[in-house]
A and B are shown apart, each in its own frame.
Chain A
Amino acid sequence: MSEGVPLPYPARDRDTTPFWEAQDRHELCFQRCAQCGHVRYPVGPLCPECRSFDFEWSQSSGKGVIYSYTVVRHQTHPAFPAPYTVLLVELEEGPRLIAQLRAPEGAAFGVGTRVSIAWEDHPKQALPVFAIDGAAP
């Protein structure tokens, strides 16, 4: 992250505020349907599987595998100096999460690599990142 240039931050609304508040506590929480148990993401009022409004927030293990990724090499935003790697991680609970990779230069990774969550604090919003399992971050 670049010093001084603020990251784009989520504009919390009445649905998503608990999701982002949990992240400020370094917890990745998803909505679990109280009726059918389906874990849904992105945040929404209704269970798309059974159409129940009832849910509870449940904490993710933060463990998953890389489903896809991109190494951004052309900088387009002052808060994100290139290069940086953005992962789409398929978590154990099912949802896929976008977050950056934190790994030593030249670390081997690809689709299918196992990763675990870590947290970084920013002025407006703490955000998850991922580290490769078994590698020093």
Chain B
Amino acid sequence: MSIRNRAAIAGVGQTEFSKDSGRSTLRMALEAILEALDDAGLRPEDVDSIVKMSANDDIYEIDLLRNLNLRNLRYFNEVPHGGGAACGTIASAVAAVTSGMADVVVTFRSLNERSERRFGETTVGGGVGHWRQYYFPHGLVTPAQWVAIHGQRYLHAYGATTEDLGRVSVLLRKHAATNPHAMMYARPITLEDHQNSRWIAEPLRLLDCCLDTDGACAVIVTSAEKAKTLKGVPAYITAATQGTGSRAEMMTSYQRADLGRLEESEAAARELWRVAEMRPEDMDVIQIYDPFTPMVLLQLEAYGFAKPGGAPALFRDGSLELGGRWPMNTHGGHLGDGYLHGFSHIVEGVRQLRGTAVNQVINPKTCLVTSGVGVPTSAIVLSKEAS
């Protein structure tokens, strides 16, 4: 039996994003969860399931249970692989809700990534295990550096330039500039600003990289049937999937046939379009995981919005602007709004379908949301109507 439109996002919540939240990740998670429950018209007592992302997080479901004074969680788990897990928590929630194992699922992400613990920060001293033993001793130690290897290959394969990367950044900052929630509110950049920003790891400059962020988001998933009866306007989950590729590692996977492609995202795309019974052409708005600019180009191609090597043209012809064919990352994404490991993209997708987004697109009915890339990934399609 297909999961198509049988579950829905009934509520969303979000704290402010900043460089220093001044409070614990647990407190922010609770604030976002209470806001999301209130948005849905549910009470904490209605929650019987929590699904979380596992990486770089020390909040356990029992911490939430104690603070919310819950008793029994019928279903809980956590999804690995960093930002690749964001829509994966939704996929897991859908599985739980459509199988009857859970009724109201809380998913969330809460980070003090700027003020406390930076994601991808390298430890000094000691031995390095797993696949990282092949990279760390050679000085390849951060996500930006791992992604730079993919980015350079992409530029070489398709004759793209760092200006093509810059246009991604310019678009994201343009959308953030009119979003008061965004860390880069009222701070648009030009292509020249991008080209003048300092190198991090060639071909990546500072303005190709996401923003270390403090903040939290929460999303409530329940059955489509129940969602219809609640206060919150539902966003139906038309498809949800995880995906992997060959020779998989976390952000390296350098033995793959072609590093100018994203196998995980291609796999997720195939499953997503099959389950949704839709195609890229059917999307009215898209929220693409954007840790570093090359990964946006690679995903647009993997999900079928452009042919291989064709994504840069979408940034030159206006396709991804608010008035374009596929308005992208309408909140400003990880480079403009803030880096919540893909969760703010889900929140923004719901708001667009409800018609309550700050940079509102005209009457969108469908939204693609993707999660972390170059890692085992995940993605969802949301719809305004369950048809």
Residue contact A13 to B136, C-beta cutoff 8 Å: no
In the bound complex, how far is the Cα of B202 from the Cα of A110, in angstroms?
Answer: 12
* Interchain CB contact under 8 A, A100 and B201: no
Is B156 engaged at the interface, CB distance under 8 Å to the other chain? yes
Most buried by A among B138, B139, B148: B139
Min C-beta distance of A26 to chain B, whole Å: 15
Residues of A within 8 A of B125 (CB): 6, 8
Contact with B along A93-137 (1 / 0, CB 8 A): 001111110000000001100000000000011010000000000
B149 adjacent to A68 (CB under 8 Å) = yes
| Chain A stretch 45-89: residues in CB contact (< 8 A) with chain B | 48, 67-74, 76-80, 84, 86, 88
Instruction: Assess whether B199 is interfacial by the CB under 8 Å rule.
Output: yes
Inter-chain contact count A-B, CB under 8 Å?
118
Known A73-B198, A73-B201; contact A8-B137, beta-carbon cutoff 8 A: yes
> Counting CB contacts under 8 A, is B54 at the interface?
no
- Which size class do B's interface residues fall under? 35 or more
A69 with B152: in contact, given A78-B124, A88-B254 (CB under 8 Å)? yes
Do A68 and B156 touch (CB < 8 A)?
A: yes
B259 within 8 Å of A by Cβ? Answer: yes
User: What does the 1/0 interface line of B199-217 toward A look like (CB < 8 Å)?
Assistant: 1111110100000000000
Nearest-Cβ distance from residue A84 to partner chain B, whole angstroms: 6
CB distance from B141 to the nearest CB of A (A): 5
Flag whether A37 is at the interface (Cβ < 8 A): no
Which residue from chain A places its CB closest to the CB of B146 in the assembled complex?
Answer: A70
Compute how far the CA of A125 lies from the CA of B141 in the bound complex, rounded to whole angstroms.
17
Given contacts A71-B202, A73-B201, A111-B156, contact A86 B129 (CB under 8 A): no
Contact B255 A42 (CB under 8 A): yes
Distance in angstroms between the alpha carbons of A20 and B151 in the assembled complex:
29
* Chain B residues, CB < 8 A from A35: none
Query: Is B175 located at the chain interface by the 8 A CB criterion?
Result: no
Determine the chain A residues whose CB is within 8 A of the CB of B138 once the complex forms: 86, 98-100, 127
Residues of B within 8 A of A97 (CB): 134
CB of A90, distance to nearest CB on chain B (Å)? 10
- Chain A residues lying within 8 Å of B255, measured Cβ to Cβ, are 41-42, 95-96
Interface bits B118-141 vs A (CB < 8 Å: 1, else 0):
000010111111010111111111
Q: Are the CB atoms of B153 and A100 closer together than 8 Å?
A: no
Q: Which residue of B lies closest to A11 (CB)?
A: B127
Extra 18 A-B pairs, beta carbons < 8 Å, given A70-B204, A79-B139: A10-B127, A10-B129, A10-B134, A10-B137, A11-B133, A13-B129, A70-B140, A70-B148, A72-B139, A73-B202, A76-B141, A77-B122, A78-B124, A86-B138, A86-B149, A98-B140, A111-B153, A111-B156
User: What are 22 A-to-B residue pairs whose CB atoms are below 8 Å?
Assistant: A8-B125, A10-B128, A10-B133, A10-B136, A11-B129, A12-B127, A41-B255, A42-B131, A42-B134, A68-B153, A70-B152, A70-B202, A71-B202, A72-B139, A72-B145, A72-B148, A72-B200, A74-B206, A77-B141, A79-B139, A86-B145, A96-B255
